[in-house]
Structures are given as structure tokens and as C-alpha cells.
């Protein structure tokens, strides 16, 4: 089989990132506002509740917080007090490639300073999402690939979860990489 293209090296990814940062600075770097967090209880408080819960979190990316952020999923099954955290990371390699379950603790605020809730689902709808994440994430098609720009990255994974699990939410544009095609390259 003949290679059609080549994987972008670190230099070209760095150049793309530099261009994106330059454009953001030249256009005034229109930073978004963090969504209102007052409706959300802390995970510590939610651990005492019986309902299933799923949250999509975001946190500003270092140096490019004006136009992008890292995202991940935190979830707790019905009747449990334990939260699991699913996300894609740049340097993780096991057990699911770059996809990781509990690479950081759900409560680890130091891992992602400035984190905020983007969406929350509770009850039966959350149970369906939890089932999807637990059963389908180990088969996530891009778990062996990570590229900051244009993707696949953390936002590609979280958008894949949202889109395919029945989560009634549309991921915002600041989730750079969310639109990277999950089934790329196409199967032969």
C-alpha cells in the first residue's frame, strides 16, 4: 500500500500553533467567558447523592486560553460515591493508548487549574451515557493517535462521546479538535 500523505512533525504542528496564537493576538484575542457555575454542586457534595451523574469539564489550555481548552468527562453511576474521569492526554500510552480512565482523580483541581463544568446530565440519561463511555471508550477509534492541531485530541474524544451517547449538548467552538473526523483515515 502506498502512503498518501505524511504525519505532520513537531515543527509543522508548532508552526500551526504559532500561527493560531498570532491570529488570536492580532484579532484582539476575544476570550470567552466561563459559563455560570452557580448551578453546579461540587463533586464532593454529589458523591453523597444516589443519582447517576455525568459532567463534561473544560479548562483553559496554557498560553492559548483565549481560544481553546482541554475537555474531559467525569461520571458516577447510580448508587456509587466514586467518580471516574475519562480523557485523552498527550503522553499517556496505556491501557487505551492516549485515552485514559482515571489518569487524574476526578477531584484533581491542580491538574487543570481554572476548570469549569460545560454540561451536566443526571438520572437515567446519565446512566445511558455512562454505559456508552464504559463499553465503547475502550474501542475509541483514535486512541492511538494524538495531535494538538487539528486533532485528534482530547476534544475529539469528548465530542465523540457527546455525539454518540445521546448526550443532549453541542460542544462549543473553543473545543479545538472536536470536529476532527473520528473515522479518519477511512478503512480500506
Q: What is the pLDDT of residues 28-50, one digit of tens each?
A: 455 667 778 888 999 999 999 99
Would you place residue 15 in the very low, low, confident or very high pLDDT band (cuts 50, 70, 90)? low
Supply the pLDDT for residue 5: 31
CB 85 within 8 A of CB 104: yes
Residue ranges per structural domain of the chain? 42-188
For residue 132 the three cell numbers come to 456508552
- Cβ contacts of 179 within 8 Å, gap of 6 or more: 151, 159
Cα–Cα distance between 99 and 92 in angstroms, integer?
A: 7
- Cβ contacts of 143 within 8 Å, gap of 6 or more: 88, 96, 97, 98, 99
Supply the pLDDT for residue 170: 96
Cα–Cα distance between 83 and 126 in angstroms, integer?
A: 13
Angle value at C-alpha 88, between 179 and 163, nearest 5 degrees: 40
Q: Considering the chain, what percentage of its residues have pLDDT values greater than 70?
A: 70
**Model confidence at 168: pLDDT above 70:** yes
pLDDT in tens, 76-122: 999 999 999 999 987 655 556 788 999 888 876 666 668 899 999 99
Q: Which residue has the higher pLDDT, 80 or 9?
A: 80
Would you place residue 4 in the very low, low, confident or very high pLDDT band (cuts 50, 70, 90)? very low
The answer to whether the predicted template modeling score (pTM) of the entire model surpasses 0.85 is no
Four-residue CA torsion sign, 121, 126, 131, 132:
negative
Amino acid at each position: 500500500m502506498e502512503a498518501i500523505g505524511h504525519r505532520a512533525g513537531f515543527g509543522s504542528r508548532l508552526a500551526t500553533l504559532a500561527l493560531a496564537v498570532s491570529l488570536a493576538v492580532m484579532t484582539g484575542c476575544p476570550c470567552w467567558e466561563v459559563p455560570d457555575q452557580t448551578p453546579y454542586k461540587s463533586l464532593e457534595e454529589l458523591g453523597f447523592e444516589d443519582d447517576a451523574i455525568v459532567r463534561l469539564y473544560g479548562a483553559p489550555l496554557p498560553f492559548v486560553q483565549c481560544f481553546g481548552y482541554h475537555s474531559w468527562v467525569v461520571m458516577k453511576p447510580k448508587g456509587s460515591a466514586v467518580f471516574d474521569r475519562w480523557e485523552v492526554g498527550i503522553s499517556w500510552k496505556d491501557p487505551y493508548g492516549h485515552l485514559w480512565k482515571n489518569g487524574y482523580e476526578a477531584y484533581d483541581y491542580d491538574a487543570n487549574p481554572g476548570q469549569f463544568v460545560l454540561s451536566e446530565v443526571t438520572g437515567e440519561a446519565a446512566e445511558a451515557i455512562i454505559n456508552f463511555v464504559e463499553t465503547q471508550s475502550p474501542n475509541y477509534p483514535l486512541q492511538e493517535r494524538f495531535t494538538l492541531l487539528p486533532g485528534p485530541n482530547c476534544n475529539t474524544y469528548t465530542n465523540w462521546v457527546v455525539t454518540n451517547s445521546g448526550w443532549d449538548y453541542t460542544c462549543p467552538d473553543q473545543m479545538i479538535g472536536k470536529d476532527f473526523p473520528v473515522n479518519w483515515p477511512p478503512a480500506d
